[in-house]
Structure 1
Amino acid sequence: MNIGIDLGGTKIQVGIEKNGEIISQTKALLEEKDSLPSTLKQVINFIKPLMDHKVDGIGIGVPSVVDVKNGIVYNVTNIPSWKKVELKAILEKEFDVPVFVNNDVNCFAIGEHRFGLGKQFSNMVGMSIGTGLGSGIIIDNKLYAGVNCGAGEIGLLPYKDKNIEYYASGNFFSSFYDTTALDAYKAAKTGNTPSLAQWEEFGRHFGAAVQAVLYTYDPEAIILGGSLAKAFQFFKKSMEDSFQDFIYPEIINKLTILVSKNENIALLGAAALVDQALVGQTNAL
């Protein structure tokens, strides 16, 4: 059994992976984000009860650039106190088990490829749409993380007057319509016309993000995750309409786009980092 941790900018989720399922799961909002000691203490206190099980190791996904070999995380998104944290060394000293650290969206992609909808694909991209927009890349059944664990940052590519993430994440709704993606989703479900129009516009922007993935990686499949993926029904058509100008229609015709069905898939992917067979396949390790 392995412990998987999904550390986000606002919350922490911890669980034990056993036979491809998450057991003994705990989740909570991340507290005192301006204090490194406080946030580390919260992470450690979440792990401690799980160590009563026979645990082989700990895998953790964080929203940041990661020195995967040494388990050091830098400039964690929305956690201002995490500028440079030697997370692997800290947790291994505390719990005396192997610890592996990677980007959170990479963990999402690993989870889908190993345990979820991506099992049938050798080449796939996991795209997580939430407060931001990130991607995890699987090439020939191996995670491609890049030299600095920065591969897949499609959202940071220039787009219009900002970048893709500005228009194709939750930021779109707060910046242009003074609302939240959640409220826009709830309203769209009631048939609210303005909200449906917002999602239609969002879909055109998200289509640009998908096209960036296709031109860069040309995968068999893209699997969508994150909170905004739940609204896929409201932006699917406009996204697909945006593909009409894509220069290689054969690629579009062969592409499969799916929405993740397992809310614990990032936890499973983080736990899978401990599996030495999988870890040995990742280029960054």
Structure 2
Amino acid sequence: MNIGVDIGGTNIRAGIELGGTITKQHKMLLENKDSLAATLSQLKDLIRPLTQYPIKGIGIGVPSVVDVSKGIVYNVMNIPSWEEVALRDIIENEFNIPVSINNDVNCFILGEHRFGLAKKYKSVVGMAIGTGLGSGIIINDQLYAGNNCGAGEIGMLPYRDSVLENYVCNRFFEDTLGMDANAAHQLANAGDSRMLAVWEEFGKHLAAVIKTVMYTYDPEAIVLGGSIAKAHQLFKKGMLENLKDFAYPESVKRLTLLLSEDDNIALLGAAALMHDIQ
């Protein structure tokens, strides 16, 4: 059994992976994010009840750049006090259990590859669409993180007057409509014509991300996850329409697009980090 931990800017979750499922799950609202000591204390309190079981390792997914070899995280998104944290050493010293750290979206796609929809694919890219846009990459059945755990940051590529992420995350709806994606989703479901048009435009921008992924990695499959992916019926038409001008049409035909179904997939992926070192 391994513990999987998913650290977000608002909530932190932890659970035990057993046979490809998450059990004994705990969740906390992350408080006092300007205090390193307070947030680390919360994280330890979240993990501690799970260590009463025969745990072999703890895998942690963090929304940041990670020095995987040293277990250090840098400039964690939405946690101001986590500028440089030797997280692996801190947690190992607390619980005397081996720890592995990686980027949260890398954990998402690792979970899909080991336990979820992408099990049968050797080459797959996962995209988490929500507050931001993150990507994780599997090549030849192995997680590819890059030299600084920053591989797959497609959202930071230049696009129009900004970067791709600003057009393919919640910020797009805030900038366009003055509301978040959830509110735009509800109004579109109620038949609001303006909202339906904006979601179709969102699909157009998402198609630009998918084309970038295809030109760069040419994967067998792409898995879409995150809160905004749940509105896929609203952006699907715009997305598919704007994939038609891809230079290699046969590649589009052979690409499999999947929608993540398991809310615990990032926890499973975090736990799976330990499988590779045990």
State the TM bucket, normalised to the shorter chain: over 0.9
Report the TM-score, using the length of structure 2 for normalisation. Answer: 0.98
Name the structure 1 match of 2:217. 217
Q: What secondary structure sits across from 1:6 in the alignment?
A: strand
Q: What secondary structure sits across from 2:4 in the alignment?
A: strand
Name the structure 1 match of 2:228. 228
Name the structure 2 match of 1:283. none
Equivalent-residue separation in structure 2 for 1:72 and 1:157 (angstroms): 25
2:133/2:155 contact within 8 Å kept: yes
2:28/2:46 contact within 8 Å kept: no
Equivalent-residue separation in structure 2 for 1:231 and 1:28 (angstroms): 26
The answer to whether 1:102 aligns with 2:107 is: no
Question: Alpha carbon RMSD of aligned pairs, Å?
Answer: 0.9
The answer to whether 1:273 aligns with 2:248 is: no
- For residues 188-220 of structure 1, give each alpha carbon's deviation from its aligned partner in whole angstroms, at most 9, with x where no partner exists: 222222221111111111111111100100000
The answer to whether 1:150 aligns with 2:150 is: yes
Name the structure 2 match of 1:133. 133
Identical-residue share of aligned pairs (%): 58
Q: CA deviation at 1:165?
A: 0.2
Name the structure 2 match of 1:176. 176
- For residues 11-50 of structure 1, give each alpha carbon's deviation from its aligned partner in whole angstroms, at most 9, with x where no partner exists: 1111110110100111232111111111111100000111
Name the structure 1 match of 2:23. 23
Equivalent-residue separation in structure 2 for 1:12 and 1:189 (angstroms): 30
2:136/2:145 contact within 8 Å kept: yes
Give aligned pairs, total. 278
Report the TM-score, using the length of structure 1 for normalisation. Answer: 0.96
Equivalent-residue separation in structure 1 for 2:251 and 2:154 (angstroms): 18
Distance 1:88 1:183, change over 3 A: same
Q: What secondary structure sits across from 2:128 in the alignment?
A: strand
Q: What secondary structure sits across from 2:243 in the alignment?
A: helix
Q: What secondary structure sits across from 2:274 in the alignment?
A: coil
My pick for the range that moved more, 8-17 or 260-269, is 8-17
1:18 maps to a residue whose letter is: L
Stretches of structure 1 that go unaligned for 5 or more consecutive residues are 281-285
Equivalent-residue separation in structure 2 for 1:233 and 1:95 (angstroms): 45
Equivalent-residue separation in structure 2 for 1:246 and 1:279 (angstroms): 40
1:101 maps to a residue whose letter is: I
Equivalent-residue separation in structure 2 for 1:33 and 1:19 (angstroms): 34
Name the structure 2 match of 1:253. 253
Equivalent-residue separation in structure 1 for 2:60 and 2:81 (angstroms): 18
2:54 maps to a residue whose letter is: K
Stretches of structure 2 that go unaligned for 5 or more consecutive residues are none
Name the structure 2 match of 1:60. 60
2:223/2:260 contact within 8 Å kept: yes
- For residues 106-151 of structure 1, give each alpha carbon's deviation from its aligned partner in whole angstroms, at most 9, with x where no partner exists: 0001000000000011100010001000110000000111011100
Q: What secondary structure sits across from 1:49 in the alignment?
A: helix
Q: CA deviation at 1:279?
A: 4.4
2:126/2:222 contact within 8 Å kept: yes
The answer to whether 1:35 aligns with 2:27 is: no
Equivalent-residue separation in structure 2 for 1:165 and 1:173 (angstroms): 12
Q: CA deviation at 1:53?
A: 1.0
Equivalent-residue separation in structure 1 for 2:83 and 2:146 (angstroms): 21
